[in-house]
Amino acid sequence: MDFDILLQHYFGSTEIENLGADGLARGLEALSIDFGTERDPGRRFALWALMQMLGVAPMPDEAFKTQAEREAAWRFMRMARRADEN
């Protein structure tokens, strides 16, 4: 999944920092619903990663059923944190 395509799909823009509170709330709600109903593991992880980057993702232990998915999510979080620090 392409990050810009996801932003455009959920928020109608690739520049969500320019959205108003209502537009942001609608996009986050749609993203959360799709995450909760998505069955494909790869697509579900991509949605979670977007939610994580936006600061609204559930913790990996709550979000994923398998240990492998949870570990991948924790690794993603660590890598994102390191990237932010640099």
pLDDT at 1 > cutoff 80: no
Strand blocks (E) in the chain:
none
Give the number of domains in the chain: 1
pLDDT tens for each residue of 15-40: 989 999 999 999 999 999 999 999 99
Q: Which residues of 53-86 are buried (b: 16+ CB within 10 A; e: fewer)?
A: ebeebeebeebbeeeebbebbeebeeeeeeeeee
Categorize the per-residue pLDDT at 41 as very low, low, confident or very high, splitting at 50, 70 and 90: very high
pLDDT of residue 86: 80
Q: Which domain holds residue 11?
A: 3-85
